Structure 1
Amino acid sequence: MRYRRLGNTGLDVSVLSFGASSLGSVFRDTNEDEAIRTVHEAIDAGINLIDVSPYYGLTKAETVLGKAIAEIPRDQFFLSTKAGRYGADVFDFSRERIESSVEESLKRLHTDYLDVLFLHDIEFVPVTIILEEAVPTLLKLKEQGKIRFAGICGLPIQLFEKLLPQVNVDAIISYCHYSMNDTSLLGLLPLLEENGIGLVNASPLSMGLLGTRGTPEWHPASPYVKETCMKAAEYCAAQGTDIAKLAVQFSTRNERIPTTLVSTANPENIRKNAMWTDEPVDEGLLLHVLEMLKPVHNETWLSGRPEYNENIGVSR
C-alpha cells in the first residue's frame, strides 16, 4: 500500500481508503460479523483512513464501525465522519445540531476524537448557514480537541469553486468526479493545492456505473450514461477483467489525488481492492475503455441548489 500527504494536515493517508457506508446496508443487507471482518481486513491491508456518516443506514454504519474499531488500537487509523445530513431530505447545519451530532458519533464510534469532521452534502442548504454557523462550529470543535481537522463535502464541482475561497477548511470529499468516466475533479486541483486543502476522492466506480450488475434504481445518471458505462464493463468482462479493478487502479495511480474511498462490507472485496493498487495496470485495456467512455466523459447530474449546478445540461 502506498501513502500520500493529505494537504497541509500532516496526515499520510493510504491511496485507497475505506468508506463505511456499506456497513449501514446502504447498497444491500449486510451481515454484521462479516462487516466487522471487512474493517479488520482493510486495516490489515494497509488502509489507514476510514470514513463514515450518521446518515449511512441512519446511524447503523457508525454503530457497526464502532464495534469493529473498538478492537483496533486507535493510532492505527485515521477516522472521519460527517454532520449535517441525517436523512434523504433531513439537513441541519445549526451549531447545536452539529455539536450534538459529534457527541453522538463519538459514542457510537467508541472514541474521544475525530481526525476529520466533514459537513455532509452542503449543496442542499443556503450558503449563509454554512459560512456563518456551520464552519465556525467546526473551528470551535477543533479548538476543543474533539476534531483535528475540518472539511466539507458534496457533489457539484461548482460547490467547491464557489465556497473554498470563502471558508477555512482543511479537507474536502468529492465524489464521482475522478473516475474513468468523469475526471472533472482535475480542474479543481490547482485551487486545492494552492491552499493546501486535502482531497478525498470518493466512488471510483461512480456509485455503481462502472460495473456489470447495473446501477441501483435511485442512481441519478441518464440512461445513456448508464448504457455506455455498462458496455464498457461488459467489454472488460469479455477480456477476463473486472472493470472495478481498472477503475480502482485508474483513480489511485494519480499522484495528485491523495486517497480514493471505496465501500464494501465484504472482506474479500476490500482485500482485492487493496491488492489491485499495487498491481500493474493493463494500459492497452485502459486506453480502450477510456475510448469507449468518451461519449459520456464528464457527464454529471444535478445535486442541490441551482447556484451549484449552472451549465449542467440535460443528458441524453
Structure 2
Amino acid sequence: MIFRPLGRTGLQLSQLSFGASSLGQEFRPVDLNQAIRSVHVALDLGMNFIDTSPYYGRGMSECLLGVALREIPRDRYILGTKLGRYAPGHFDFSARRVVESVDVSLERMKVDHLDIVLCHDIEFVELAQIVEETLPALRRLQTQGKVRFVGISGYPMAIFKAILDRAELDVILSYNHYTLQNTMLVDLLPDLQAKGVGIMNAAPFSARLLTNAPLPPWHKATPEVRALCRKAAEHCTARGVDIAQLALQFSIAHEDMATCIVGSANPENVKSWVDWAQTPMDPQLLSEVLAILRPIHNWFYTEGRPENNDPRPASGN
C-alpha cells in the first residue's frame, strides 16, 4: 500500500481508505458480521484511514465501528468522522451541537480522540455559519485534544473556495469530483496546496455510475450521462476489464491527493479494491474510455442551496 502526506497535518494516509457509510445500511441491508469483517480486512490490507459520519445509518455506522475497532490498537488506524448532518433534511451546525456531536461520536466509537472531524455537506446551509460558528467551535475542541484536525466536506466545488477565502482549514473531503468522468477537483489543487490543506478524494465509482451495477433510484445522472457511462463500461468489458477497476485505478493515481475513500460492508469487495490498486493501469484502455466519456466530461448535478453551487458552463453541460 502506498502512503501519502495529508497536507501539513503530519498524517500519512493510505492511498485507499475505508469509507464506512455502508456500515450504516445507507445503500442496502448488511450482514453485521460481514460489516465488521470488512473493517478488519481493510486494516489488515493496509488501509489506515476510516471515514464515517453520524449521518450514516443515523449513528449505526459509528456504533458498528465501535464494535469493530474494540480490539484494535488505537495507533493502527486514523479515524475521521463528521458533524452537522444527522438525518435527511436535518442539519445543525451550531456551536452547541458541535460539542455534543463530537462527544457522542467519541462515545459511539469508544475512542478518546478523533483524528479528523469534517463539517458534513455544508452546501445545504449558509456558509457564514460554518466560518463564524462551526469551525471556531471545532478549533476550541482541538485545543482540548478531542479533535486533531478539522475541515469541510461536500459536493459543489464552490463551497471549498468560499471557505478557503474566509477560514483556515486542515483538510477537505471532496466526492465525485476526481473520477473518470469528472476531474473538477484538479482545478482546486493550487489553492489547497498553497494553504497546506490536506486533500481527500472519495467515491471513485460516482455512486455506481462507473460500474456495471444498476444505478440507485435517486441517482441524478441524465439519460446522456447514463448512456455514455454504460457505453464505457461495455467497452471495458469487451477488453476484459471491469470499468470499476479502471475507475479506482484512475482515482488513486493522482499523487497530490492523499487518499481515495471507498467503502463496502462486503470484505470481498475490499479485497478486490486492494488487488486493483496493486495492478498496473492500462493506459491504452484509459485513453479509450476517456474518449468515450469526453462529451460528458465534468458534468455535474446541483446539491444544496443554489447559491452554494458551481456555475453552469455556457454549453449547459
The TM-score normalised by the length of structure 2 is: 0.97
Which residue of structure 2 aligns with residue 135 of structure 1? 135
Matched to 1:193, the amino acid is Q
Q: CA deviation at 1:131?
A: 1.2
More deviation in 22-31 or 213-222? 213-222
Which residue of structure 1 aligns with residue 102 of structure 2? 102
Which residue of structure 1 aligns with residue 51 of structure 2? 51
Which residue of structure 1 aligns with residue 287 of structure 2? 287
Looking at structure 2, the residues matched to 315 and 209 of structure 1 have their Cα atoms a distance apart, in angstroms, of: 20
Which residue of structure 1 aligns with residue 15 of structure 2? 15
Looking at structure 2, the residues matched to 300 and 310 of structure 1 have their Cα atoms a distance apart, in angstroms, of: 9
Task: Report the CA distance shift for 1:207/1:180 in structure 2 as closer, same or farther (over 3 A).
Answer: same
SS of the counterpart of 2:57?
coil
More deviation in 58-67 or 108-117? 58-67
Which residue of structure 1 aligns with residue 235 of structure 2? 235
SS of the counterpart of 2:174?
strand
Which residue of structure 2 aligns with residue 42 of structure 1? 42
Which residue of structure 2 aligns with residue 259 of structure 1? 259
Q: CA deviation at 1:312?
A: 2.4
Is this contact kept in 2: 1:202–1:262, CA < 8 A? yes
Task: Report the CA distance shift for 1:315/1:211 in structure 2 as closer, same or farther (over 3 A).
Answer: farther
Q: Deviations over 1:247-283 (max 9, x none)?
A: 1110111111110000111111111111211211111
Q: CA deviation at 1:208?
A: 1.1
Give 5+ residue unaligned stretches, structure 1. none
CA RMSD of aligned residues (A): 1.2
Give 5+ residue unaligned stretches, structure 2. none
Looking at structure 2, the residues matched to 268 and 281 of structure 1 have their Cα atoms a distance apart, in angstroms, of: 21
More deviation in 181-190 or 282-291? 282-291
Q: CA deviation at 1:234?
A: 2.0
Matched to 2:175, the amino acid is Y
Q: Deviations over 1:62-112 (max 9, x none)?
A: 111111111211100100000000012000000111111111111111101
Q: CA deviation at 1:315?
A: 6.3
Alignment of 1:209-228 (within 5 A): 209-228=209-228
Matched to 1:246, the amino acid is L
More deviation in 230-239 or 209-218? 230-239
Q: CA deviation at 1:212?
A: 1.4
Is this contact kept in 1: 2:49–2:78, CA < 8 A? yes
Residue 30 (structure 1) aligned with residue 30 (structure 2): yes
Is this contact kept in 2: 1:23–1:61, CA < 8 A? yes
Alignment of 1:1-316 (within 5 A): 1-312=1-312
Looking at structure 2, the residues matched to 231 and 214 of structure 1 have their Cα atoms a distance apart, in angstroms, of: 14
Looking at structure 2, the residues matched to 243 and 64 of structure 1 have their Cα atoms a distance apart, in angstroms, of: 31
Is this contact kept in 2: 1:201–1:257, CA < 8 A? yes
Is this contact kept in 2: 1:301–1:312, CA < 8 A? no
Q: Deviations over 1:267-310 (max 9, x none)?
A: 11111111211211111111111111111100000011222224
Looking at structure 2, the residues matched to 85 and 279 of structure 1 have their Cα atoms a distance apart, in angstroms, of: 37
Looking at structure 2, the residues matched to 116 and 73 of structure 1 have their Cα atoms a distance apart, in angstroms, of: 18
Is this contact kept in 2: 1:224–1:315, CA < 8 A? no
